[in-house]
Structure 1
Amino acid sequence: MASAEQLVFELTNPDLRENALLDLSKKREIFQDLAPLLWNSFGTIAALLQEIVSIYPFLSPPTLTPGASNRVCNALALLQCVASHPDTRTLFLNAHIPLYLYPFLNTTSKTRPFEYLRLTSLGVIGALVKVDDTEVISFLLSTEIIPLCLRTMEMGSELSKTVATFIVQKILLDDVGLRYICTTAERFFAVGRVLGTMVTTLAEQPSSRLLKHIIRCYLRLSDNARACDALRNCLPEMLRDGTFNNCLRDDATTKRWLQQLLHNVSGGNRVPPPQSLAGLEHLLG
């Protein structure tokens, strides 16, 4: 079996790169400290970025082939490894590498190559937010990550929707993220509208995993007094009337979250919403 060092070295050779990408992506869990090796090896990150940029021309019009999608997703899997590692995460952010993935998240084709591309790209962002780090959240909020996640939450596959909703959830769980979303009516409305649409869809096509993240997003929004006031009148009725009782039957944690959410929006002494959030109930209703 080729060593990690040998495979990483082969990434810089265009003739050997495709097989090296495949081998490394398959074995990235067994190679210890692969992320620092990828980051610190001469030309390696440049080679991975070259793989990403090379398929931009196939995004619009959508002509990405399954083989090209698989190849770039192997490169993305290695970037996810770098994004996950504590020694390389900050370096990864400081180089603004997540921005190279945003064109993939901006695609709308529902064919398998594009869905796989979006899902793998979301996996890189998901790896960044998995560790609670305000620096990561602040960086992402300075970019277009919220609109891109909302787009996937509306039109992606169930798995892509779940990862995108998880990313939004992790952003909301950070105080900086919650404050950002609740600062303006437009941001709150954008998130609330997509969450509401997803709840309606889940009533017809249940997914307990996706519902769990949606409820957690709503519960976190209810921690903000102004957002909680807006949610009183615009929280989907299906979350109140027992529609999802069967779906949540075996999930005690999510049932507890839903009960807390309903308690939060049903009463308590909340300050009146400021003018910036006035009218949200009508918009989201």
Structure 2
Amino acid sequence: MSTTAEAPSSSSENPKKDTEENSESRLYQLVKNLTILERRESSLLELSKKRESFPQLAPVLWYSFGTIAGLLQELVAIYPSLSPPTLTAHASNRVCNALALLQCVASHPETRTPFLNAHIPLFLYPFLNTVSKTRPFEYLRLTSLGVIGALVKMDDPEVINFLLTTEIIPLCLRIMETGSELSKTVATFILQKVLLDDFGLQYICHTAERFYAVSTVLSNMVNALIEQPSARLLKHIVRCYLRLSDNPRAREALRQHLPVALQNGTFSKVLEEDPSTRRWLSSLLYALGGEQYNVGSNI
């Protein structure tokens, strides 16, 4: 009985490899389209939606010729719409898609340092400096904060030093006072991460002016939460206060200026559902005087 060899199949023997190659090819094409003005908007939209599907998106964006320049063009193009505030929803969505890609670059360990060295975050500061409460501006500020938030999540002293020397704190404080709840939360998170860095804590507590600028905004936020409680926002506020108490001069000042609402059980219902914040507040009150604040009864 004779046997004959089967002809090789015309279909791929490794469909997974084909899928990966197709995905990679699609990524390169979309990134290339970012440098072509007529194709940029659709590529921005698709890449921002699918960025989690492309693990190497950040290096490809950063090292592809002209790509970052194209993204920065998108940011600069709306500067004239900031003052007077005429930013449309469509323009806001488009630039926020560009910001989402920059956030990807800011998050990646291979591209974070060159991203900082090129001072890319400075292009976002005009967005953080806006005060209009319309939805396009709020979305713009929130997405810009997301880029800064991605940087500080890395707990990199280089990031903190850059942000402090470029005056990010006043911008965050303004948003903490006037932004939406979500923007306030992200801005307070950024402040918290700055404070958790030793240089950041030293910087903010170095002068009375800096310390009181921060503590005044935090106090105002606490008082606002009495009417509109937010467990997520309260968590970051308490964490900021607790870190400030690690500085001897700040700790002494907080004994006189800590909001009464954090001492008298005002937020006891909120804290019942958040053991971490309850524990941080207990530590804060103990650090500021222990028995004199009746730690156990307050929470």
The TM-score bracket by the shorter chain reads over 0.9
Give a deviation string over 1:62-116, Cα, whole Å, max 9, x none: 0000000000000000000000000000000000000000000000000000000
Cα offset for 1:267? 5.7
Distance 1:144 1:75 in 2: 23
Distance 1:199 1:212 in 2: 11
1:96 corresponds to which letter in structure 2?
Answer: H
Out of 106, 128, 131, the position equivalent to 1:105 is 128
Are positions 1:155 and 2:178 aligned together?
A: yes
Are positions 1:212 and 2:222 aligned together?
A: no
Give a deviation string over 1:182-203, Cα, whole Å, max 9, x none: 0000100100000000000001
Give a deviation string over 1:142-164, Cα, whole Å, max 9, x none: 01200000000000000000000
Q: CA RMSD in A?
A: 1.0
| Structure-1 residue corresponding to 2:295 | none
User: Would you identify which runs of 4 or more consecutive aligned residues in structure 1 move more than 2 Å?
Assistant: none
- Name the SS for the 2:37 alignment partner: coil
Distance 1:217 1:86 in 2: 26
Distance 2:266 2:59 in 1: 48
TM-score (norm 1): 0.93
In structure 1, stretches of 5+ residues that fail to align are 269-285
1:65 corresponds to which letter in structure 2?
Answer: T
Out of 16, 20, 23, the position equivalent to 2:46 is 23
Are positions 1:121 and 2:155 aligned together?
A: no
Give a deviation string over 1:34-60, Cα, whole Å, max 9, x none: 000000000000000000000000000
Out of 38, 55, 62, the position equivalent to 2:61 is 38
Distance 2:290 2:140 in 1: 44
1:57 corresponds to which letter in structure 2?
Answer: P
Out of 87, 93, 99, the position equivalent to 2:110 is 87
Asked which structure has the greater RCO (Cα within 8 Å, sep 6+), the reply is: 1
Distance 1:248 1:110 in 2: 30
Distance 2:239 2:56 in 1: 33
Cα offset for 1:250? 1.3
| Structure-2 residue corresponding to 1:235 | 258
Cα offset for 1:32? 1.6
1:162 corresponds to which letter in structure 2?
Answer: T
TM-score (norm 2): 0.89
Are positions 1:245 and 2:268 aligned together?
A: yes
Identity of aligned residues (%): 72
Q: Which has the larger radius of gyration?
A: 2
2:259 corresponds to which letter in structure 1?
Answer: P
1:36 corresponds to which letter in structure 2?
Answer: P
Give the aligned length: 268
- Name the SS for the 2:166 alignment partner: coil
Cα offset for 1:124? 0.1
| Structure-2 residue corresponding to 1:145 | 168
2:213 corresponds to which letter in structure 1?
Answer: A
- Name the SS for the 1:32 alignment partner: coil
1:197 corresponds to which letter in structure 2?
Answer: N
Distance 2:143 2:97 in 1: 9
Are positions 1:77 and 2:100 aligned together?
A: yes
Distance 1:171 1:125 in 2: 11
